Structure 1
Amino acid sequence: MTRRGVVALGVTGLVAPLTLAFTAAPAQAASCTSQAGPYQKQVEKFLGRPVDGRQSSADCRAIQAFQNKHGITPAVGYAGPVTWGVMDLMNKQKAVGNNPNKDGKCPVDKGRIACVNLSLQLSWIQDGKRLAYGPVPVRTGRKGYVTRTGLKKIYWRDIDHVSDIYDVPMPYSQFFDGGQAFHSVNLSMWNPPGSHGCVNMTTRDAKKYWSLLRTGDDVFVYGRKPGT
């Protein structure tokens, strides 16, 4: 990020439609809880576990692996509101399929435009009514560092940018509102609580945005990120 504004940290991909992969994370030292959480049944269903509302050791290991993969702490296998919130968001993202602008909120009279739906943590590029790329999952600003809404334009691009506020790399940065930009990060896209304002993407998606967008292209950000 530059001193023009606040930056972000962020990550992972979903190209329409979203596919969810649940691979076990490396073993970690945290022990597993035997306590069932308030979202036990929902989490069991999401993970393809027997839905009985009772915490088993296998349930705990599956939940813990999911938490480790996406940086949810404490990763003790508890089916709490943060873990279920991430899973619920994934379900909603998947349901969008290939029609992210079904609600018509992102303008279709601007030609090429990058759209960001904060409510669903999704972004895509469209050209009029034609979907050019996406939707992809994004990681936007956390509480206190919200990604600002409205119609903007990409005004500066820096493929090897490094934040001079947070001293972290921001590859494929495309700035559209002060210090807020699209850029890649090395985190799960569903890693809570979110960025410092930027729209974080996987490297694959950030590279594609870099190839499709140009200085002067429109960006439209709308909605509200859950929890902000």
Structure 2
Amino acid sequence: MTGVIVRRGAVAVGAVVTVALVAGCKAQAVDSGGEAQPVRISPTKTKTNPDGRNGASGTGKPEGKPERTTSKPIPKPIPKPAPKTLLAPGQRGGQVRELQARLRQIAWFFENPSATYGSVTTAAVKGFQGKRGLPRTGTTDTVTWQKLVGMTREPTKYELYSGGGIPASKPDKRCLTGRVLCISKASRTLTWMIDGKAVSTMDVRFGSQYTPTRDGAFTVFWKSRHHVSTLYDTAMPYAMFFSGGQAVHYSSDFAATGYNGASHGCVNVRDEKKIASLFAQVKKGDKVVVYK
């Protein structure tokens, strides 16, 4: 080992000389006493990372501080709202009538629309729902209604009232005075009016395309309670003739088959009790107005 010797008297008394380190040697300091004193140098402490390397960690972050991670929570799926109920058993009204007419278009409802949500309508809705993979509740919710509307068309007035009961049309102005059988082809109704006031209204049907019922203003010229047609050999009870062989009368065929049939030009009445009452009130000479 190579050393450095400093002799007494080479430096001023009381001075301390710091000697540079020589590679591989211990440095010494010389005090005024002339005895060399060893200089102790504390070794540099290095930290060993988990991966075996000295110095700072590979992440570049201070040792001992854990790395923070941020993660967003996974959102929970939002449940779909339950379909809203639109119509249910026991309800009545125009939308129930439309429901029945639409179901009838696609052969799920075989009766005439009644505007009453009864057991037959409930069964028809259940059948429709089951066929389309919907819950068989029997109530008409928004999903069921949208599916039905997408498969059908808007019902006509006559489909909505295939069994009759169409609200009477606005009376023709010729019906507003006197005693009048006011007959509307548009609403398929006969309204018995006295001095502009409706006394009773009933369903009627008319002649076919080839034997149409005549339009116009007429008068009752003959009444025949048990009349039988000599031309067609058919019964015409409570007949009230107003234009040639055309008359207002009861029709058992109309009562049985509804609007699936037609007359030979007469005005057929469906309700026998109503026309029996009308026949008793009408007099010869009373007006008959047939209008579209």
- Specify the TM-score bucket, using the shorter chain as the normaliser: 0.5 to 0.7
Task: Give the structure-2-normalised TM-score.
Answer: 0.46
The answer (yes or no) to whether the contact 2:166–2:187 under 8 Å persists in 1 is: no
> What is the DSSP-based 3-state SS (H/G/I as helix, E as strand, rest coil) of the residue aligned with 2:260?
coil
2:142 paired residue number: none
Change in Cα spacing, 1:41 to 1:84, as seen in structure 2 (3 Å) is farther
Q: CA deviation at 1:94?
A: 3.6
Aligned residues of 1:171 and 1:185 also touching (Cα < 8 A)? yes
Residue 288 of structure 2 corresponds to residue 222 of structure 1: no
Q: Tell me what 1:118 maps to.
A: 185
**Does the CA-based 8 Å contact 1:183-1:200 persist in structure 2?**
yes
Give, as a single letter, the amino acid of the residue that structure 2 aligns with 1:146: P
| Cα 1:54–1:39 shift into 2, 3 Å | farther
> Retained in 1: the 8 A contact 2:218–2:243?
yes
Structure 2 counterpart of 1:137, from 199, 203, 206: 203
Runs ≥4 residues deviating over 6 A: none
Name the CA distance, whole Å, in 2 between partners of 1:55 and 1:144.
Answer: 44
Task: Quote how far apart the aligned CAs of 1:151 are.
Answer: 0.6
CA distance in 2, matches of 1:50, 1:218: 47
Matched, 1:167 2:233: yes
Displacement of 1:193? 2.9
Q: 1:127 aligns with which of 186, 194, 198?
A: 194
1:149 Cα deviation after fit: 0.5
TM-score (norm 1): 0.58
Contact kept? 1:43, 1:87, Cα under 8 Å: no
1:199 aligns with 2:267: yes
2:177 is aligned with what amino acid? K
Counterpart amino acid of 2:204?
Answer: V
CA drift of 1:90 comes to 3.7
Residue 50 of structure 1, aligned match among 109, 114, 125: 125
Q: Distance in 2 between matches of 1:171 and 1:165?
A: 15
Q: Which runs of 5+ in 1 are unaligned?
A: 1-36, 57-79, 224-228
Please name the residue that 1:213 is paired with.
282
The answer to whether the Cα contact below 8 Å between 2:226 and 2:235 also exists between their aligned partners in 1 is yes
Q: In the alignment, which residue of structure 2 is the partner of 1:158?
A: 224
Aligned identity (percent) is 23
- Deviation track 1:109-134 (CA, whole Å, cap 9, x = no partner) reads 4311001111221111011221111x
What is the alpha-carbon distance in structure 1 between the residues aligned to residue 130 and residue 254 of structure 2? 26
Counterpart Cα distance in 1 of 2:231 and 2:130: 43
- Work out the CA distance in 1 between the residues paired with 2:193 and 2:229: 29
Q: Any idea what the Cα deviations from partners look like across 1:137-162, whole Å, max 9, x if unmatched?
A: 11211111111111110011111111
Which of 73, 83, 87 is residue 159 of structure 2 equivalent to?
87
Which one of the candidate residues 99, 107, 124 is aligned to 2:174? 107
**Larger RCO (CA within 8 A; separation ≥ 6):** 1
CA distance in 1, matches of 2:222, 2:263: 20
- The alignment partner of 1:221 has SS state of strand
Judge which range, 197-206 or 157-166, deviates more: 197-206
The answer as to whether partners of 2:175 and 2:182 remain within 8 angstroms in 1 is no
User: Is the Cα contact below 8 Å between 1:89 and 1:120 reproduced in 2?
Assistant: no
Structure 2 residue ranges without an equivalent (≥5): 1-102, 114-119, 132-151
